[in-house]
Copies of this chain bind each other. A is one copy, B any other.
Amino acid sequence: MKQLSRKGREKQRHRSEILQVAEAVFSEKGFFKSTIREIARKAEFATATIYKFFKSKEDLYTKVIIEKADEFVSFVESEVSKETSIMMKVEKSIEAKVGFFLGNVSFVKIYFAQTRGAGFSIHMSMDKRIRKKYEGLLQFVAQLFRDGIKEGIFIKADPCDLALALDGLTNAFMFSFLESRKESKELLLKKIPLMKKIFFEQVRLK
């Protein structure tokens, strides 16, 4: 359908290579300390070539995030939809999130910087778009809670707050993982039951 000429396909590959390198560089140094020159050099292109694909450094940064964020959201939603019971859906959302992040560590750093990093890094306009995506995912999970509350599975509380709380809980562990890279990925996966326990069962015994 989207039948591209060989030229067109090659162009897409180049674009994709640039995005990949940009993600790595931005992830390592952050937006401001990264330079287009470095990205270009590491992608083995001339500086100006980057600008054929992205109209500014900011645009490149935005695209790096937006496109992966789309992938992320799609992944979580598709994984969740495989389950039938509400409880399983919510649990799956946690696993999918952790799973995706473990496979995209360098993206996650940027994503967190932008969604939870106080949000004054770059321009407002693009910030808005990212936040929107993030909000969308939150709303998606909130809907699961809403349904669950109706079914009497969950306590009566604002479903958005529940989604927010769950998000914060899982983020905390992922952050911790990001920082102490000595921990193996398995270790983070093994924390999943604990997250569920804390959130869905009781921490206090009596």
> A residues within 8 Å of B by Cβ?
27-33, 87, 109-110, 112-113, 116-121, 131, 152-155, 157-158, 161-162, 164-165, 167-173, 175-176, 178-179, 191, 194-195, 197-206
Contact = CB atoms under 8 A, between A and B. Distances in A.
Q: Which of A171, A194, A203, A204 has the most C-beta atoms of chain B within 10 angstroms of its own C-beta? A: A203
A204 B164 contact: no
Contacts of A204: 87, 153-155, 200-201
- Please give the count of copies of this chain that the complex contains: 4
A117 B179 CA distance: 11
Contacts of A169: 165, 168-169, 172
A131 B175 CA distance: 12
Contacts of A118: 30, 109-110, 112-113, 117, 178
Contacts of A198: 157, 162, 165, 199
Given A33-B120, A165-B198, 18 more contacts: A30-B120, A30-B121, A31-B32, A109-B120, A110-B118, A113-B118, A152-B205, A155-B202, A155-B205, A158-B194, A161-B173, A161-B194, A164-B172, A165-B194, A168-B168, A168-B170, A168-B171, A169-B172
Contacts of A155: 197, 202-205
A65 to B, nearest CB: 12
A131 B120 CA distance: 20
